[in-house]
Amino acid sequence: MQPEQRKALESKAHWVRCKVLEMAAHAKSGHISSAFSQTELLVALYHGRLMNFDPKNPRWEKRDRFILSKGQGGIGLYPVLADQGFFPSSELDNFAGRDSLLGVHAEHHVPGMEILSGSLGHGLPVATGIAQIGLVKKQPWLVICLLGDGELAEGSNWEAALYAGSKSLSNLVCIVDRNGGGVIGYSDRVEFPCDGPRMNPLDKKFEAFGFEVRTINGHDFGEIFTAFGDIRHRQHKKPLMIIANTHKGKGASIMEDKRLWHYRVPAGNDLAVTCQDLGLKSLPIGGKRVKAEQGE
């Protein structure tokens, strides 16, 4: 990867995080930490053009189908889609407000969104249906499904994984945003009774289900691009699972890998600290710039 490209993408990822914070602070709602863990993945897919799409024709027949299964991450996808021109950026300013196009959870009527999500464990089964039709019709497009690792506790994912592996859905590319965090607990930690079920060894699980598995650092553009380098001409006739190790709340010191921030919007001093983390002196909230130190 060229340094200039990496720099441009990193800069875009930074902009996305700032926008997410701004939207959430304005609406006093939104899953910031979930959006921050997936940021580089989305920026790579869209701004890095790892996917084929046409913002002027969101239902373009030859597009790659992107399924956001972790619907809580909607707030992190909206800036990306708006920046690509799927809908006007002004919509971001009215996130979850009256008559807003954009809800807290991803909805299928938003240009660029394929499905309604927010209840977890739905995306992968739907993705297998799309992929299966793509194979039957011998289409070159791919189905790219972004999952949260917390939602892998939903059994429906494993029903879908069983099907995808059995039927060799080679046009299915899954990404797990492996931030380890759920709502109240972390998988693969045993600190407290509130910690979630063990996901490890996640790679072995998907391999056993018939996937080709690649594990990467989900915040590193170089690794993301390497993982996606051959997705249109892979040798394996298997579905692909990219386990992207990430940090929930990446880039915000009060949130990063911290409990309690799954669904929480910083205010007051917390907001000021988060602005500082992102290098912001102030945040435009509700059409006016609010100094970071003043918080809400």
Partner 1 sequence: MASTKFILGMRDAFFNALFEFYKKDPEVVFITADNGAPTLDQFYQQRPDQYFQVGIAEQQLIGMACGMALEGKKVYTYAIAPFVTTRCYEQNKIDICAMNLPICNIGVGAGYAYDIMGPTHHTVEDLTIMRALPNMTVHSPADSYCAEALAEISYRNPGPQYVRFDRAGVPEIYGEGNHKFADGVLLTCPGGPVALVATGIMVHQAQKVATELAEAGVKARVIDVCRIKPLNTERLFEYLKGVKRVVSMEEHLLTGGLGSLLAETFSDNDMRLPLLRIGQNDRYVFDMGGREVIWEKHGLDVVSMTQRILRWVK
136-155 footprint of partner 1 as x/- string (CB under 8 A) = x------------------x
User: Does residue 126 belong to the site contacting partner 1 (CB under 8 A)?
Assistant: yes
Considering only 29, 132, 217, 276, the residue that binds partner 1 (CB under 8 A) is: 132
Q: Residue holding tokens 């708006």?
A: 82
Q: How far is the CB of 153 from partner 1 (least distance, A)?
A: 14
Q: Residue holding tokens 């009215």?
A: 94
With the C-alpha atoms ordered 239, 240, 245, 251, is the resulting torsion angle positive or negative?
A: negative
Task: Give Rg (Cα) of the chain.
Answer: 18
**Residue with Cβ nearer partner 1 (16 or 145):** 145
**Residue with Cβ nearer partner 1 (56 or 108):** 108
User: Does residue 219 belong to the site contacting partner 1 (CB under 8 A)?
Assistant: no
Q: How far is the CB of 126 from partner 1 (least distance, A)?
A: 4
Considering only 160, 265, 271, 285, the residue that binds partner 1 (CB under 8 A) is: 160
Cβ 77 vs Cβ 118: under 8 Å: no
Q: Residue holding tokens 């492996």?
A: 178
Q: Could you count the other beta carbons within 10 Å of the beta carbon of residue 190?
A: 8
User: Does residue 239 belong to the site contacting partner 1 (CB under 8 A)?
Assistant: no
Q: Residue holding tokens 């979630």?
A: 196
Q: Could you count the other beta carbons within 10 Å of the beta carbon of residue 2?
A: 7
Considering only 85, 88, 129, 222, the residue that binds partner 1 (CB under 8 A) is: 129
Q: How far is the CB of 205 from partner 1 (least distance, A)?
A: 17
| Secondary structure (DSSP) of 189-217 | --SSTT------SHHHHHHHTT-EEEEEE
Q: How far apart are CA 139 and CA 136, in angstroms?
A: 8
Q: How far is the CB of 256 from partner 1 (least distance, A)?
A: 31
Nearest in space to 15 (alpha carbons), one of 271, 264, 219, 280: 280
Q: For the segment 95-124, give every residue that binds partner 1 (CB under 8 A).
A: 108, 114-116, 119, 121-122, 124
User: Does residue 162 belong to the site contacting partner 1 (CB under 8 A)?
Assistant: yes
Tokens found for residue 252: 């915000």
With b for 16 or more beta-carbon neighbours within 10 A and e for fewer, the 81-105 pattern comes to bbbbebbeeebbbbbbeeeebbbbb
Considering only 34, 39, 128, 171, the residue that binds partner 1 (CB under 8 A) is: 128
Q: CB under 8 A: which stretch of 31-39, 156-164, 216-224, 264-272 binds partner 1?
A: 156-164
User: Does residue 125 belong to the site contacting partner 1 (CB under 8 A)?
Assistant: yes
**Residue with Cβ nearer partner 1 (125 or 181):** 125
User: Does residue 68 belong to the site contacting partner 1 (CB under 8 A)?
Assistant: no
Q: Give contact residues for partner 1 (rule: CB under 8 A).
A: 108, 114-116, 119, 121-122, 124-134, 136, 155-156, 159-160, 162-163
